[in-house]
Amino acid sequence: MALPQTRSDDPAVMEAVRRARSVLNRRALVGAAASVVPVPGVDWLVDAALLSKLIPAISAEFGLTPEQIERLPVRKREQVEKAVAVVGSMVIGKFITHDLVIRVAAAIGRRLTMKRAARYVPIAGQALSALIGYGAIRYLGEQHIRDCVEVCRQAGLRLPSAPLLLGGSASG
Calpha distance 113→116 (Å, rounded): 5
Q: How many CB atoms lie within 10 A of CB 89?
A: 22
Calpha distance 48→133 (Å, rounded): 12
What pLDDT, in 10s, does the model give residues 110-132? 555 555 555 555 666 677 777 87
Calpha distance 122→129 (Å, rounded): 11
Q: What residue type is assigned to position 83 of the chain?
A: A
What pLDDT, in 10s, does the model give residues 70-86? 999 999 999 999 999 89
Averages of pLDDT over each 10 residues, the chain, 172 residues: 58 93 92 74 76 91 93 94 88 72 62 56 69 84 94 88 48 35
Q: Supply the pTM of this predicted model.
A: 0.75
Per-residue CA distances from 116 to 25, 29, 147 (Å):
21, 17, 28
